[in-house]
Amino acid sequence: MHQDFAIKLMIGIGLLAALLFCVLSSVEEGVAVLAGASLGLLNYRWLYQGAVYFFEAAESGGVRGGAWVFSGFLRLGFLGGVLALFTKLGLAPIGLVVGLSVPMVSQLIWTSRRAFGRSAQMQS
């Protein structure tokens, strides 16, 4: 399984959660879940790419602490700014929280599937 599967899983779970909120709560909540999931996916992708660049640089011995710290603060500031904008626009905070949880839930499912897949292969 590649990382692409995890991203597809995040998109699928995000759309499913947004649809459930639209049906069970309100369309506004569903939109907030979709916005939160989109922001969470963007943040996850940015974090993943940063980790890839960091470890590639670490292998070649070219890691400098300042650039990685700055990138982390930039990502955190962007995330906070967009969240503030979303709440200013009136998106439901509960929907945003649920949407931002989608990458974590997806990673838990993806990692569990990989771990249980490996253990099943080892037992065979």
Q: 26-71, pLDDT tens digit by residue? A: 999 999 999 999 999 999 888 888 888 778 877 877 766 667 778 8
Mean pLDDT along residues 1-15: 81
**Amino acid identity at 95:** G
Residue 50 in domain: yes
**The total number of structural domains that make up the chain:** 1
Q: Max CA-CA distance within the chain?
A: 55
The answer to whether 96 touches 36, Cβ cutoff 8 Å, is yes
Residue 107 in domain: no
The answer to whether 86 touches 35, Cβ cutoff 8 Å, is yes
Looking at residue 52, what is its pLDDT? 81
Residue 120 in domain: no
Looking at residue 53, what is its pLDDT? 79
Looking at residue 120, what is its pLDDT? 66
Residue 34 in domain: yes
What would you report as the CA-atom Rg of the chain, rounded to the nearest whole angstrom? Answer: 17
Residue 27 in domain: yes
Cα 87 from chain centre: 19
Residue 39 in domain: yes
Rounded Cα distance between 29 and 49, Å, is 30
Residue 38 in domain: yes
Look up residue 32 and give its two tokens: 């907030």
Look up residue 17 and give its two tokens: 């959660």
Look up residue 106 and give its two tokens: 């997806």
- pTM listed for this prediction: 0.81
Task: Note down the domain range covering 43.
Answer: 7-102
Task: Decide if pLDDT at 72 tops 70.
Answer: yes
Rounded Cα distance between 78 and 46, Å, is 11
